[in-house]
Amino acid sequence: MIDEMMAIAILLPVAAGLLILAIRNYYARNVVVVATSIALIVNSVLLSINGPFTYTPEGVNWGLFITILDYAILLFYLYIGFTLRNWLVVIFAFTQLVPLAYFEFIMKAHLELSPAFVVDHLSLVMTLIISIIGSLICIFALRYMYDHEHHAHLTKSRQSRFLFWLVLFLGAMNGLVFANNLFWLYFFWEVTTLCCYQLISHDRTQEAINNAARALWMNATGGTAFILAIIYLYVTQGGSSALSLQTLIGGGIQASVVLLPVALLCYTGFTKAAQMPFQSWLLGAMVAPTPVSALLHSSTMVKAGVYLVLRLAPAFAGTYLSIAIAIAGAFTFFATSALAISQTTGKRVLAYSTIANLGLIIACTGINTPLSVAAAILLIIFHAISKGLLFLCAGTIEHQIWSREIEDMEGLAAKAPLTTLITAVGILSMFLPPFGMLLGKWIALEAAYMVPLAAILFVLASTLTIVFWTKWLGRLLQVLPKLGWPLERLSLSYSAPLWTLLIGIFAVGIGVGPIYQNFLLDATNNVVSGNQIFAIGWNNLVLTSASFIQRDILGLFPIWPLYLILVVALLLPLLLIGLKPTELRPVYLCGEQVGGTDTDEWSAEADQKTKFLLGGYYFQSSLGEKKVNPWANTIAIVLLVIMIGCGVIVIC
Amino acid sequence: MLEQFILVFATLVGAPLAGGLLFGIDRKITARLQGRYGPPVIQPFYDFFKLLGKEHIAVSRLQFIWIYGYLVFMVVSLIFLVLKSDILLLVFLLGFAGVSLVLGGFSTKSPYAHFGANRELLQIMAYEPVLLLFAIGVYAQNGSFLISEIFKQDKPLLFSLWPLFLAVLYVLTIKMRKSPFDIATSHHGHQEIVKGVTTEYSGPYFALFHLAEWYEIVLLLGIISLFWANPLWVGILIALVAFLLELLVDNIAARMTARWMVRLSWSIGLLLGVINIAYIYLTKGVS
């Protein structure tokens, strides 16, 4: 049973991907993708019911297989580097290839390890996110890529290739969150980097290729740190047993040795999670078709980065490294939230918001208490749902107005009411109570006093978050006084994932109490033992102090009452209050408008008919990238050096 | 449970009465300071009922959602205060009310409402971090975010959190829409572009805005009175003095620019909060 489930989780996407590559028919391909998605979703649920467990595949010599593929991937990087003449890619391919070859051929390292996979509750949470949200995005991509190529007037369809990498990504992510053998984890890590490169460069424009190469070399620096950590552990501990992730975090290795490789691995996590100063690769990834962004931002890639840091949390608990990680994460949260305000492109706002929230999650990991780790896991889940939804919305909007600019989205509520409604809920769910993201942020803030500097950065960042979301949503709603907005028709491939994710926001948000107690608490305990969150009565979440002797209550969040209030405050007025045509009036223009109620023209100078234009605030002179990036990147680099320094100092 | 229901009911009815009266006093005192006689103290209630009786007209259906959102979340924040619940969540709920008002301004293509909404957003940016820092300051001092815990302490918060008290007073000016921070919409006709964020509201919907404002003033003064919660009457007295102080400042200051407000809040306001929390952290540690 476990054999089959593991095979479906990791190998089915590979097999399905190859099949998709072979099929040239649009409908046949859709059937394969949908069937694979359903299989992955059902399988992930079955895994969660049967888990946790450990597993080592038998029969085939998988170790050899993985080693060969490792070299194949790295040689492919070299090939890319040379053909693009991008020397950074070449350098960081070599920095991985040379140590790896030295390690295996000169040192003749023995890399077999049992168990190869450890599937605990944290892995199960991750695989649920990857399988469910990832699959929904793949379904969305079916129609999206069809429209995308139609709009670009491509003669030869490249949809098969695109879907191949998309589906393969899910398999690699599943392997990544299950792996216990660090060397295998490294392999899956590299596969995700490769998938990411292929997907970003998909459109083959110069910009796409350049940005993909940037993503590649930045992640390759992380891969290099990963290899160095593996070699360091192997050499100091003398054997493959040191490569077990469980030994590493279970206190099996003395603290003075373990901190440097852990710091290096955290660096790797930072690169993949696009933390400052690596944010540019994720922003560059925005050139890719929107399903790629949705996948990278919600359920795969960047979540692998935060997963690794979260996974390693027990190994750095109670050290200065932990505090350094908390502050570095909190700083990214703050700086990228400020940068998001200055962005005029919808997808770039989403990207900065992702980086910010990943920073928050990493900071929570660094604070390293049961409360903050629970917040981190809740944020991973809710962020995946909300951000997945928002990217799909951005894609849907793009295919309605053929623009990604926020200013072009003005008055979308009248043109595409359904899309606007879903987008509005998605945006509200990112930063307001009672939605899950705010719940996570609230828990994080209540836990943050352990590292006061992080708490203060949280406060500033969450304020900035309000500003950029509200002003974007405001632009969507800016409509002329007019009644009767016809609902737009959405293809099923668009609407099914959108509605599923929308329902997901509410289902998981409303049921968070039982979900936490029955499932997420175990995942939290995989990282840090103890429980500080209790659900009582009407799903009131009560936070308590960590002490077991006397539990003081820290805070209270009534979940169901707040959702009820949301219904009363927003949903009932939306449904119940109508506006008759006779009650409609033009907006106030000092009596100078031209025409009827639904006009945006007025008599300007010399009674000339002039259209008035509105625009949002972007503060590019004070918060623009040119202004902020130099000092923010400098601070981020200093924090990164301090972080790795914390690992080095222990050895000296 | 029954006691709580009575408390909530009393708040729902009592708060607007007190809030309306405070606004009446505001208008009277302001008039006297300006050498006018001023309207009767219960004029806000006359205005309210007159607005309710006016014709239903609007420029967009979306407006209704956000004005109700503003009112409901304001009331809920106040109920959180009365039930002595979580202060941090209260600040977030108050944030929802603020965001609703902004979106109400944005939800029609109207230049004046658009300006007002942008400015209201800047006001949120100015006051939100101070209020959040205040919540963290309460935790630093008491080891809990619950308001009920504040009432259990013998020593008033004012002694340990006086820098944050000053910062919250600053926020009170912004939230009460008083000069120099009546940026988004003003009570004074002479320094207003039309009516700011509320430009496109009229009749009964504008009455709802006033109702929300009444709840808001009670909530804000309630938050101020938390600084001296034992005995509470001292706290209420402090809040009323703060209210009168705001009126005085309002009449001797002119409206400033939004940018100036944000800068001042993010420099002095935050500095006060940060120093306050840092001091408590260094002297008390993590409780």
Tokens of A102: 């030295």
Rounded Cα gap, residues A623 and B125, in angstroms = 14
Query: Half-sphere exposure of A170 toward its Cβ, with a 13 Å CA cutoff?
Result: 39
| pLDDT tens-digit readout, A194-239 | 999 999 999 889 999 999 999 999 999 999 999 999 988 888 877 7
**Confidence grade of residue A548 (pLDDT, cut at 50, 70, 90):** low
pLDDT tens, residue by residue, A300-337:
889 999 999 999 999 888 889 999 999 999 999 999 99
- Cβ burial B162-192 (10 Å sphere, 16+ → b, else e): ebbbebbbbbbbbbbbbbbbbbbbbbbeeeb
A446, A460, A478 ranked by CB distance to B129: nearest: A460
Per-residue burial over A27-39, b = 16 or more CB atoms within 10 Å of its CB, e = otherwise: eebbebbbebbeb
d(CA A60, CA A112): 13
- CB contact, 8 Å: B199 with chain A? yes
Judged by DSSP in three states, A535 sits in strand
Question: Cβ B95–A466 below 8 Å, yes or no?
Answer: yes
Return the SS3 of B153.
coil
Cβ count near A156 (within 10 Å):
5
Work out the average pLDDT over B20-30: 94
User: CA A307, CA A313: separation in Å to the nearest integer?
Assistant: 10
CA quadruple B73, B79, B80, B81: dihedral sign: positive
Helices (H), A158-205: 159-178, 182-200
Q: How far is A146 from chain B (nearest CA, A)?
A: 34
Distance CA A235, CA A229 (A): 10
Cβ contacts of B76 on chain A, cutoff 8 Å: 562, 565
Contact B136 A445 (CB under 8 A): yes
Distance to chain A for B222, nearest Cα, Å:
19
Do B89 and A555 count as a contact with CB atoms less than 8 A apart?
Answer: yes
Q: Do B58 and A584 touch (CB under 8 A)?
A: yes
The distance of B105 to chain A (nearest Cα, Å) reads 8
Ranges of H-type helices in A448-491 = 452-477
Between these two residues, A606 and A124, which has the higher pLDDT value?
A124
Q: Do B92 and A478 touch (CB under 8 A)?
A: no
For position A300, what pLDDT does the model report? 86
Pair of tokens at residue A423: 């987008």
A557–B86 C-beta distance less than 8 A: yes
Residue A36 lies inside a defined structural domain of this protein: no
DSSP A572-622: HHHHH----GGGB-PPPSTT-B-SSSS--EEE-GGG-EEE--------HHH
Which of A369, A372, A475, A477 is the best mutation test for B, with the most CBs of B within 10 A?
Answer: A477
pLDDT band at A53 (very low <50, low <70, confident <90, very high): confident
Domain that holds residue A393: 319-529+627-652
What pLDDT does residue B287 have? 56
- Nearest-Cα distance to chain B for A456, in Å, is 7
Chain A residues lying within 8 Å of B152, measured CB to CB: none
Cβ pairs bridging A and B (under 8 Å):
185
- Angle at which helices A206-237 and A255-272 cross, to 10°: 170
Q: What are the chain A neighbours of B105 within 8 Å (beta carbons)? A: 474
pLDDT tens-place string over residues B167-205: 999 999 998 888 888 888 887 766 676 788 888 898 899
Run of H or E residues at A542: strand A540-544
Examine the pLDDT at B90 and tell me if it is beyond 70: yes
Q: In Å, how far is A483's CA from the nearest CA of chain B?
A: 8
Residue B161 has pLDDT above 90, yes or no: yes
Q: Does B144 touch chain A (CB under 8 A)?
A: yes
| Contact residues on chain B for A334, CB-CB shorter than 8 A | none
Distance CA A41, CA A128 (A): 7
Which DSSP helix (H) or strand (E) runs through A553?
strand A553-558
Domain count, chain A: 1
DSSP helix/strand/coil, A362: helix
Give dist(CA A165, CA A160) in Å, integer.
Answer: 9
Q: Compute the average pLDDT of residues B67-75.
A: 95
Contact across the interface for B59 and A586, Cβ inside 8 Å: yes
CB A371 within 8 A of CB A352: no
* Residue B78 vs residues B16, B51, B75, B209: alpha-carbon distances, Å: 11, 24, 5, 16
Residue B107: Cβ within 10 Å count: 27
Q: How many angstroms separate the CA atoms of A281 and A297, rounded?
A: 12
Does B218 lie at the interface with A, CB-CB under 8 angstroms?
A: no
Residue in chain B closest to A547 (alpha carbons) equals B287
Nearest beta carbon to residue A614 from set B89, B111, B281: B111
B31 touches B39 (CB < 8 A): yes
Closest chain B CA to residue A572: B65
Find, among A574, A604, A593, A609, the residue nearest to A480 by Cα: A593
> From CA B86, how far away is CA B76, in angstroms rounded?
12
What distance in Å separates residue A341's CA from the closest CA in chain B? 12
User: Sign (positive/negative) of CA torsion B247, B260, A473, A616?
Assistant: positive
Contacts of B68 in chain A (CB under 8 A): 569-570, 572-573
Q: What is the pLDDT averaged over residues A118-125?
A: 93
Are A463 and B277 a contacting pair at CB < 8 A?
A: no
Chain A CB contacts of B64 below 8 Å = 573-574, 577, 579
For position B254, what pLDDT does the model report? 84
Interface of B with A in 23-82 (CB under 8 A): 55-62, 64-65, 68-69, 71-73, 76
Residue A609 bridge partners (DSSP): A603
Residue of A nearest to B133 (CA): A459
* Residue numbers in A near B281 (CB within 8 A): 449, 452
CB of A479 closer than 8 Å to CB of A403 = no
Cα–Cα dist B234/B229, whole Å: 8
A445, A569, A588 member nearest B112 (Cβ): A588
What's the CA dihedral at A20, A21, A23, A29 to 10 degrees? 30
> Helix (H, G, I), strand (E, B), or coil: what is residue A244?
strand
Answer for the pair A546, A412: CB distance below 8 angstroms, yes or no.
no
* CA–CA gap between residue A375 and residue A368 (Å, rounded): 10
Mean pLDDT of chain B: 91
Q: Please answer whether residues A367 and A435 qualify as being in contact, where contact means their C-beta atoms are separated by less than 8 angstroms.
A: no
What residue ranges do the domains of chain B occupy? Answer: 2-284
Nearest-by-Cβ selection for B92 from A433, A483, A568: A433
B95 vs A480: CB contact, 8 Å cut-off? no
Measured CA to CA in angstroms, residue A264 lies from A232, A373, A637, A648 at distances of: 10, 21, 14, 10
Does B84 lie at the interface with A, CB-CB under 8 angstroms? no
Q: What is the mean pLDDT of residues A166-177?
A: 93
Asked if this assembly's ipTM is beyond 0.85, the reply is yes
Q: Which residue has the tokens 């049992």?
A: A114
Q: What is the pLDDT of residue B193?
A: 67
Cβ atoms B78, B90 nearer than 8 A? no
Q: Which of A438, A455, A473 sits opposite B92 (nearest CB)?
A: A438
Q: Residues A408-450: pLDDT tens digits?
A: 999 898 889 999 999 999 999 999 989 999 999 999 999 999 8
Q: Which residues of B touch A600 (CB under 8 A)?
A: 109
Q: B103 in contact with A at a CB cutoff of 8 Å?
A: yes
pLDDT 10s digits, A387-414: 999 999 999 998 889 888 999 999 898 8
3-state SS, A78-143, equals: HHHHHHHCCHHHHHHHHHHHHHHHHHHHHCCCCCCCCCCEEECHHHHHHHHHHHHHHHHHHHHHHH
Pairwise CA distance, residues B123 & A345, whole Å: 24
pLDDT single digits (tens) A250-272: 876 777 778 899 999 999 999 99
Token output for A75? 């040689």
Please answer whether residues A48 and A515 qualify as being in contact, where contact means their C-beta atoms are separated by less than 8 angstroms.
no
pLDDT digit string, tens, across residues A490-521: 888 889 999 999 999 999 999 999 999 889 99
